[in-house]
Chain A
Amino acid sequence: MELHAAQFPFLSTLLLFCIASLGLVLVLPKNSNTAVKWVSAVCSGATLALALFLFAAYDRELGGMQFVEQYRWIPALGISCIHGIDGFAAPMLLLTGIVFFTGVLTMWHLKHRVKEFFALFILLVTGVYGMFMALDLFFIFVWFDVSLLPMYLLIVIWGSTLREYGAMKLTLYLLFGSALILPGIVYLVSVSGLDTFSLPALAQKGVFSGFEQKVAFFLFYVGFGILAGVWPFHTWSPPGHVAAPTAVSMLHAGVLMKIGAFGILRVGMFLCPQGWVHWAPLMAVLATIGIVYGALVGLRQTDLKFVIGYSSVSHMGIVGLGFATMTVDGINGAVFQMFAHGVMTALFFSAVGHFYDQTHTRQIGELGGLCRVMPVAGSYFILAALAGIGVPCLASFWAELLVFIGAFRVYPVLAIISLGVLVINALFILRVVEKTCFGPMAVHWAHLQDVTFGMAIPRAVLAAAIVIFGLMPFLMYEVIQTATIPLINGLNSLAGQTAADSINTLLSQWMSRLP
């Protein structure tokens, strides 16, 4: 892993800006709702701008870790504070910035406990930003937990349907995940003998034996995978979506699930490549089950947010499948899918949030014909739906395309099974669109309001991200590639063969064990 030191501590600035805004929100007087909202909006806008700058300024030729900053933290324990972004983290920072900004604007009309909401919201996002830029295992773990805990309060206090149940389930699941990650980290640090938590130091070749990597990768895969909605650990996610308020759903599906996938990538794959190779077939199978299963269960849902929740399970399965391919195409596609799904699902939830604010129901059977009274909100909903079913020239298409190409090289059968889901996906998402937006409208909804111009801004930002990266996917891929190619090259040189070959060897070994 090449480290390129930063000329200016951009990443720390980003983080400190969030923390400062959080402090400012906390010291503002209790009733100054407008001021709180403006502070949050400025904070989110500034971090979005900074994230956009970092994404644009990331040197595509140079690659590796850039904008790296290193500070001593607890030298006695080998803990240091290292920040840096590579081709995987840069898109994730951009995603976080976009969802943060649009989330704050979406909650502009909030009236209940405004100060507390935005304080927790900023805290959550700070954790997410930190997680994406941290290069020290200790800090990765700390930021990971910082981004989880505010979720509980945000759902319990501002949520809706079954919020105590949803929030508790979510929290327990995610803490169970971190209860697996922590032993994994401690195990790796103790067996390394290097007395450091620093990821670049631990990621060197030959630090860990094959067995150690297998054990640790499994812990990371399950621990982070819970957050990424890996089947069968996904059941926290749909009820969590349903219970959460709009902006939290956006952040939850848009960014939080990506943290899980990113954790697998950053900690699991960077530190334990042999473990990755070992567990890849399992990952592929679970991901395929998740893809199919999520779509099928989505077919039976009657609550709009449940539908999107299960489609998220299906879409995150595609990320998992991409990881399991161990090819450049697959990983590229998976990381792009993380971005594309984040933006798409945020748009989805913000549109549904508007429907819910206006109609006070999310039951698909009760809605219908909403396009007539709210054409703008409806259009954004349809755009998100089209992105969700993978229509070309919208961001998710390119992601799915590359994942399927990668998967087809390595696991043709699983790839074909997952391809079949494209049809089911189209069926259930279009069914939802038809039942909410199209058809005759009930008379009692004639008075509903469309989104105002101000409220259309966040949706327009999300839609623009979907369309821009859909029309110009190379903007994203040239960044992602810089991280993927070294990772895969390292993997191949390690095994002395390409991923596809190693999978074949593995499979034949397994087959020979069968009677």
Chain B
Amino acid sequence: MFSKPVPADSLYLAWAAAVFPLAAFGIIMIFLRRLPKAAAGVSLSAIAVSLVCAVCLLARHWHLEMPLESTVQWMASSDFEIPVGVLIDGLSLLMLVIVSGIAFLVQLYSIGYMAGDPGYARYFGFMSLFAWAMTSLVLAPNILQLFIFWELVGLSSYLLIGFWYEKLSASQAGKKAFVMTRAGDTLFFCGWLILLVWGGTVSILDLNHSAHSLSQAMVTASALLVFGGIAGKSAQFPLMTWLPDAMEGPAPVSALLHSATMVAAGVFLLGRLFPFFSQSDAAMTVCLFIGFVSMLLSATMAMVSRDIKQVWAYSTVSQLGFMIMALGAGGYAAGIFHLTTHAGFKALLFLCAGMLIHACETNDMFEIGQAGGRRMKLTVLCMTIGALALSGIWPFSGFFSKEEIMAALAAANSPVWYIGGLAGVFLTAYYSFRLIFVILLPGSTKAHGPGSQSGPEHARAVMHAVLVILAVITLVMGFFAESLQNLLTGQGVNAPGVHGPFPAKVVSPVLAIAGIVVAWLEFGRKDSARIGFAGRISPVARLFGQRWYLDHAYGWLVGRILDRGIAEGCQQNENRVIEKILHTVAGSVTACGRAAAGWHRAMIQSKLMVVFAVVFGLTLILLAA
């Protein structure tokens, strides 16, 4: 009723986009674990097929009147059916292209980046697993299918963060990521169970179109619970600290999963259920608020971090906060557009960071600067392009999407959001260019350049080519804003474009430039102290550096309350109460037995006496009866 069936050839394309990476995963894990080259080839060809399918689908359905949906029943349990299928509309097509495109580029880059790693085949296997899960996630026509693949991308994230499993910190980071997102996912699970059991449907289109027929309380409750899952996956406050730790994984993994695609799944879900969420003002306000808090908190954390990948990780959280704020303020197209541009430039930034880390063998930006990271000219140039886009400078893609977000925020119900957004814009520009200036204009450099560049020459060329492609995308993407908006809002989803007041168009770029200037004053000038304004006040620096003590809170919660509190209590109950009762029962049985045995322990004649006494007693009883 809200959709038309998918034409057969498009259906095959969509299935192919999802299933090829799965096949690659299976083949690699079963047959190709000892054949790294073949594994890389299989994985890359699978994702290339996905990309081609995705582009064909996009081209074919560029002008879509109505969402297309096809499902088959996968499993039934009388009251309840589990359908799987595909839903094709602007959002899923756009996401499909982003996911397969970035995944393809990142895998291409990984050929060089991961060269010589003992787990090369395993790496490509997990990458294929992720590609399968993520493509299926974006195509999901109902929340159940979405949830299944939502968990599976979490799984591949766990496996890839802990890819270098011999590093304890890496496997711990993987565990932290899984458990923290699991906490959110459990809320998500509750949320859709409410919809399924009391609302009667989990189909995304049904929910979006008939949310108003459900009771307001139910919509709010389930929307808030679903938002829990979004907060977990998109690393929003308070479930945000797993993402910086996830940087223990290889740099391409960070680029693909932890900036461009997987963490954006939360925003995608919010966009997917946007009309449903819009039914509840409370839920929308919570979105705005959580996005706002995460955006500012993580921006402050990025200001003091020295680890290059962590800065981009905090920045990812911050930008995801921007997107969620945009959606919360009603700017559907703005949020999704920012997701699109962000996927491009953040992947670029991470891949550049990977090049630098590989060459200088350190994650510390000051050390990279001193080791002469700026001599890698192409890398640094691309990184600067990415940072400009991130800060929102014309003509890079970030400018256009951020403008739309600011417009949406300006139109929101309270000026707080807009002012907070402006602060965010300033901080974003500041921390990005702090990093750029530290690397580009270090005080002193060592005589020799960065260490030997990894991999053979052609691999490096491929890596550079990937950087250039992403940089070009970053440069031109902004000019497609109009057509992307048409794609997104053309059908079904009814989200009016928001146009803010005129000053919004000027204020935020000015603030961004101000941020860059401050960063230059503090880190770029010849005789600057190279300490940021936040770093000068040590309690503030400590607060930011310790991530607002969020990790301490979680450590306390898990270590003290859960582990040594409740769990220990249960353990004590097990040992002291249940076992005690058990041993008391067993002891009393033994004691009874011992007492009875006492009759038979004396001299033979006493035993005989007992026998006689009992026989006499019984005889008397029988006679009396």
Complex-state Cα separation, A334 to B178, whole angstroms: 26
Residues of A within 8 A of B74 (CB): 473-474
Contact B193 A328 (CB under 8 A): no
Known: A426-B182, A431-B175. A296 touches B165 (CB 8 A): no
Known: A372-B166, A393-B148, A438-B162. A477 touches B197 (CB 8 A): no
In this complex, the interface size class of chain A, counting residues with CB under 8 Å from chain B, is 35 or more
Task: Decide if A392 is an interface residue (CB 8 Å cutoff).
Answer: yes
Task: Decide if B76 is an interface residue (CB 8 Å cutoff).
Answer: yes
Task: Decide if A67 is an interface residue (CB 8 Å cutoff).
Answer: no
Task: Decide if B531 is an interface residue (CB 8 Å cutoff).
Answer: no
Contact B186 A391 (CB under 8 A): no
Task: Decide if B579 is an interface residue (CB 8 Å cutoff).
Answer: yes
The contact string, 1 if C-beta is below 8 Å from chain A, for chain B 151-183, is 110010010001001111011101100110011
Find B183's partner among A423, A434, A477 (CB 8 Å cutoff): A423
Task: Decide if B361 is an interface residue (CB 8 Å cutoff).
Answer: no
Find A477's partner among B77, B185, B189 (CB 8 Å cutoff): B77
Task: Decide if A450 is an interface residue (CB 8 Å cutoff).
Answer: no
Find B571's partner among A297, A397, A420, A438 (CB 8 Å cutoff): A297
Contact B166 A235 (CB under 8 A): no
Residues of A within 8 A of B178 (CB): 426, 430
Task: Decide if A332 is an interface residue (CB 8 Å cutoff).
Answer: yes
| Minimal Cβ-Cβ distance residue in B for A434 | B171
Complex-state Cα separation, A328 to B175, whole angstroms: 35
Residues of B within 8 A of A360 (CB): none
Q: How far is the CB of B475 from chain A (nearest CB, A)?
A: 39
Contact B152 A297 (CB under 8 A): no
Find A419's partner among B77, B186, B566, B579 (CB 8 Å cutoff): B186
Find B193's partner among A172, A293, A392, A415 (CB 8 Å cutoff): A415
| Minimal Cβ-Cβ distance residue in A for B225 | A416
Contact A440 B168 (CB under 8 A): yes
Known: A405-B196, A477-B75. A296 touches B80 (CB 8 A): no
Contact B151 A391 (CB under 8 A): yes
Task: Decide if A4 is an interface residue (CB 8 Å cutoff).
Answer: no
Q: How far is the CB of A300 from chain B (nearest CB, A)?
A: 4
Give the interface SS of chain A, mostly helix, strand, loop or mixed: helix
The contact string, 1 if C-beta is below 8 Å from chain A, for chain B 554-569, is 0000100011001110
Contact B166 A481 (CB under 8 A): no
Q: How far is the CB of B36 from chain A (nearest CB, A)?
A: 14
Complex-state Cα separation, A183 to B333, whole angstroms: 70
Known: A297-B567, A392-B148. A420 touches B80 (CB 8 A): no
Residues of B within 8 A of A391 (CB): 151-152, 155
Task: Decide if A439 is an interface residue (CB 8 Å cutoff).
Answer: yes
Q: How far is the CB of B245 from chain A (nearest CB, A)?
A: 13
Contact A427 B558 (CB under 8 A): yes
Known: A297-B570, A299-B567, A439-B166. A474 touches B75 (CB 8 A): yes
Find residues 376-422 in chain B having any chain A CB closer than 8 Å to their own CB.
none
| Minimal Cβ-Cβ distance residue in B for A168 | B586
Q: How far is the CB of A76 from chain B (nearest CB, A)?
A: 31
Q: How far is the CB of A438 from chain B (nearest CB, A)?
A: 4
Complex-state Cα separation, A13 to B223, whole angstroms: 56
Complex-state Cα separation, A438 to B168, whole angstroms: 7
The contact string, 1 if C-beta is below 8 Å from chain B, for chain A 469-495, is 000011001000100110000000000
Known: A235-B574, A474-B76. A423 touches B168 (CB 8 A): no
Interface size on B, residues (CB 8 A): 49
Task: Decide if A271 is an interface residue (CB 8 Å cutoff).
Answer: no
Task: Decide if B149 is an interface residue (CB 8 Å cutoff).
Answer: yes
Find residues 533-574 in chain B having any chain A CB closer than 8 Å to their own CB.
558, 562-563, 566-568, 570-571, 574
The contact string, 1 if C-beta is below 8 Å from chain B, for chain A 368-382, is 010110000000000
Complex-state Cα separation, A416 to B152, whole angstroms: 22
Task: Decide if B578 is an interface residue (CB 8 Å cutoff).
Answer: yes
Task: Decide if B214 is an interface residue (CB 8 Å cutoff).
Answer: no
Complex-state Cα separation, A440 to B76, whole angstroms: 45
Find B171's partner among A172, A293, A327, A438 (CB 8 Å cutoff): A438
Task: Decide if B78 is an interface residue (CB 8 Å cutoff).
Answer: yes
Complex-state Cα separation, A404 to B192, whole angstroms: 12
Residues of B within 8 A of A437 (CB): 165
Contact B155 A386 (CB under 8 A): yes
Q: How far is the CB of B156 from chain A (nearest CB, A)?
A: 10
Complex-state Cα separation, A329 to B81, whole angstroms: 10
Q: How far is the CB of B8 from chain A (nearest CB, A)?
A: 23
Contact A392 B152 (CB under 8 A): yes
Find A329's partner among B80, B168, B183, B185 (CB 8 Å cutoff): B80
The contact string, 1 if C-beta is below 8 Å from chain A, for chain B 570-591, is 1100100011001000100000
Task: Decide if B462 is an interface residue (CB 8 Å cutoff).
Answer: no
Q: How far is the CB of B552 from chain A (nearest CB, A)?
A: 18
Known: A392-B148, A434-B175, A438-B168. A300 touches B568 (CB 8 A): yes
Q: How far is the CB of A208 from chain B (nearest CB, A)?
A: 27
Residues of B within 8 A of A332 (CB): 77
Contact A235 B578 (CB under 8 A): yes
Task: Decide if A402 is an interface residue (CB 8 Å cutoff).
Answer: yes
Task: Decide if B79 is an interface residue (CB 8 Å cutoff).
Answer: yes
Complex-state Cα separation, A431 to B179, whole angstroms: 10
Q: How far is the CB of A425 from chain B (nearest CB, A)?
A: 9
Residues of B within 8 A of A424 (CB): 562
Contact B186 A438 (CB under 8 A): no
Task: Decide if B473 is an interface residue (CB 8 Å cutoff).
Answer: no
Complex-state Cα separation, A481 to B179, whole angstroms: 34
Contact A398 B75 (CB under 8 A): yes
Find B80's partner among A405, A430, A438 (CB 8 Å cutoff): A405
Interface pairs A-B: 6 shortest CB-CB:
A438-B171, A439-B168, A299-B567, A392-B148, A438-B165, A296-B570
